Every structure is written in structure tokens, then in C-alpha cells.
A = this chain, B = another copy of it.
Amino acid sequence: MAVQKTAEPRSSRTAQAAEADEAATGPERLMAAELADEIEFLTARARSVGSGRANIALKELDLRVRSYSVLSLACSDLNPSQRELADFLSLDPSQIVALVDELERRGAVTREADPRDRRSKVIAATPEGRQLYKQAFALVRTSEEHSLGELSLEERGQLRALLRRIAFKSAD
């Protein structure tokens, strides 16, 4: 269950030597290991390759998956507060501060005082932010398509439903 790396592994796989020796040294010989059956390991690896690809794709907009997520929620017309963003994205509030700082500096989002609770600040997207999100979404879309390419629409629906249940378990 490790799998944290977020960028593309620079694997090469030139070596087809030592393959006819006694065990097929395939690229993923270790899939036979017990670990490869653990759902949480597979989840970790899936997200690693996925967000790795997405980060590369987003680089041309000078965004990362994290800032994209914040921007996306800011564009959602749900008027999220920073605390809500932190909870939803499983990030520390202080990390949200940095992310919003940068998006705000770029003119993509604004911090607006919440009339109901002057402690909290709701994050809203500017027109420029929405325009940026549009482009970013397209890139992420393509990247995701690349990652999920083999899955049918139905399978994607299944996967989404299953993941939602483990990603948003109410109390525990």
C-alpha cells in the first residue's frame, strides 16, 4: 500500500535479457505477490498513476491536481468555505490557505466574507478563473480518458459508485 509517487516513472524496459532463464522477468512480475490483491494498495497505485498523468497534463496551465481541485470547487456555485474545502479534499486548512493564495494571486478566485459567519471566507471563481477551469477540465478529461481507457461506461459507473462508498463513509 505504498505508492505515493505522483510523477511518471522513468522506466525503460530495454532489457529482455534474463527472461528465458527460469522466471519470466516481465515488467510486473510482482503482481503475483499478496500485496497486489490488497484493494488499498491498488487504490494507491491507481491514484498515483492517475494524478501523475494529470499533473503532467496540467503543467501547461501551471496548475497541479491540488489547485485544479480547489478551482473546480470554486467554480461549482456551492460557495465553499476554506474549511469545507479542507474537509472535502482531505487537506489541512493551512494547505488550503496556500492554494487559495496562489489562485487568488492569479486572479482566478476571490475570498469573500461570509455574511452569516464573519469568521469564514467563501471562495468564488472569477470569470478568468472559470475560463481557466474550462481549459484545465479539458486537459484532466483527456488525461483521465487515457487512464480509464480500457473501462466501458458501465464499468466506470460501477467503479465510481464503489469508490464513492469508501471515500465518503459517514461516521467511523
A162, B159: Cβ atoms under 8 Å?
Answer: yes
Candidate in A149, A167, A172 with the most chain B CB atoms within 10 angstroms = A167
Known: A2-B65, A78-B29. A47 touches B54 (CB 8 A): no
| Copies of this chain in its oligomeric complex | 2
Considering only residues 1-50 of chain A, those with a C-beta below 8 Å from chain B are: 1-5, 9, 11, 18, 21, 27-50
Q: List 6 A-B contacts (CB under 8 A).
A: A4-B66, A5-B89, A40-B147, A43-B50, A44-B51, A46-B166
| Interface residue ranges, A against B (CB under 8 Å) | 1-5, 9, 11, 18, 21, 27-52, 54, 65-66, 68-70, 72-73, 75-76, 78, 80, 84-92, 95, 116-117, 140, 144, 146-151, 155-156, 158-160, 162-170, 172
Name the contact of A43 in the complex, choosing from B46, B90, B165 (C-beta under 8 A): B46
